[in-house]
Amino acid sequence: MIRKILIANRGEIALRIVRACRELGIRTLAVYSEADEQSLHVQLADEAICIGPAPSSESYLRADRILSAAELADVDAIHPGYGFLSENAEFAEQCESCDITFIGPKSETIRQMGHKARARETVSKAGVPIIPGSDGPVDDEKIAVKTAQKIGFPVIIKAVSGGGGRGMRIAHNAATFAKEFQSARLEAEKAFGDGSLYIEKYLEDPRHIEFQILADQHGNTIHLGERDCSVQRRHQKVIEESPSPFLDKSLRNRMGKAAIKAALAADYVNAGTIEFLVDAKGNFYFIEMNTRIQVEHGVTEEATGVDLIKEQIQIASGNRLSFSQKDISLTKHAIECRICAENPAKGFIPSPGTIDLYYAPGGHGVRVDSHVYGGYTVSPHYDSMICKLITYGRTRKIALDRMYRALSEYLIRGIDTNVEFVKAVILDPAFRQGEATTSYVEKFLARAPKELFEKKPKDVSK
């Protein structure tokens, strides 16, 4: 069993890993930037080492400093969390060469599935449906527009590397293609250091549904059902839930089998996510694989009762999965809202600053994954998410009603947040009836008055 883990991350996911390790009797080392000295994961870990200034490029993205801290503290494993170096094949490879267990898949798997064009080719050969698109990266703009015309507009231009919605643009016709292609390339180069792009047919109003998979080193691969992540703003997820209100048992089984096929084709080990787009007729298409734990993993944990972080550690320790596919069922409905330090009424502008008052909701069926507290300063250097609020119950309605109650209890003063915005979504009839697709947020913002996000919305859930 692993005895000591370095947590190469920050915020709520770092705290989540600290807690899982403590329950397993594993010691933890927190690494942190100068801006995160007072963060909860630093205070609660067994040891902590500062690895640089606030900018992530000088701290959380510095593999050399993280590995130096690992050697200094004599750890035998590193958990990368999500973001930062979690899907960096070179970092995983460096861990392997230093005889440090990387809690995630093998470096070659990260490299293979992180390259979106190679990932498409890999799963397609395994019989998993993919969206029509270019055969690989398209570097020449003239060839790219001809490829788009052959596929048929609208198309989506995507960065070959990375994820999180960056390096993605939609082109509705040939006239706008060049501008969107150049914008996607520039953003991809800035975000990932790789401006390579590929092109896919753009599905209008699909649902974004992902399947959580677990695979051990002994050939056992299972899925833990789906998460519906259709409520997005600018390709960034806002609300996730499990199970999806759209999938029936038959479609769930077919998509689950496809997810396992994709994982086996990649020779995958540890926790990962297979992401699909699903059209109104139930046709589904692979879009990418996330070779790490997801932000929204807690939704699956509450729906299935499986602790995914502990399973990651157990798998990395060489243990077999303690359950099989027949043992997995979605016994509860779980919903997550991402609470961010931003102002929805002002175009979702970030709102860093010091939290003067903080009171988190509680009660039956409520889970709060957060690293903030009263007096905590939200840094402008990192993602604006400050909490993942999760509610769960026997039915979707129970989970929704608990979410509204929990959001109504949430008190955060000193900074702006999107609490009133997500509360308004939770009460929206279209969302409550399970009708949300990936275009839902844009349509909702177009019809909802901005004042709705600055005061308590009228309760229309009854």
Residue 254 known to be catalytic: no
State how far the Cα of 12 lies from the Cα of 19, in Å rounded to an integer: 11
Closest to 152 measured CA to CA, from 176, 130, 172: 172
Q: Which helix (H) or strand (E) holds 211?
A: strand 207-215
State how far the Cα of 235 lies from the Cα of 249, in Å rounded to an integer: 27
Closest to 119 measured CA to CA, from 166, 161, 167: 161
State how far the Cα of 436 lies from the Cα of 31, in Å rounded to an integer: 39
**Residue 191: both structure tokens together:** 């975000």
Residue identified by tokens 């939200």 is: 378
State how far the Cα of 277 lies from the Cα of 133, in Å rounded to an integer: 14
Q: Which of 227, 292, 338, 367 is catalytic?
A: 292
Give the CA-trace dihedral at 307, 288, 159, 180, to 10 degrees: -110
What contacts 183, CB < 8 A, 6 or more positions away?
169
Listing from the earlier edge strand, what are the strands of the sheet with 101-102? 47-52, 27-33, 4-7, 77-79, 101-102
Catalytic residues: 292
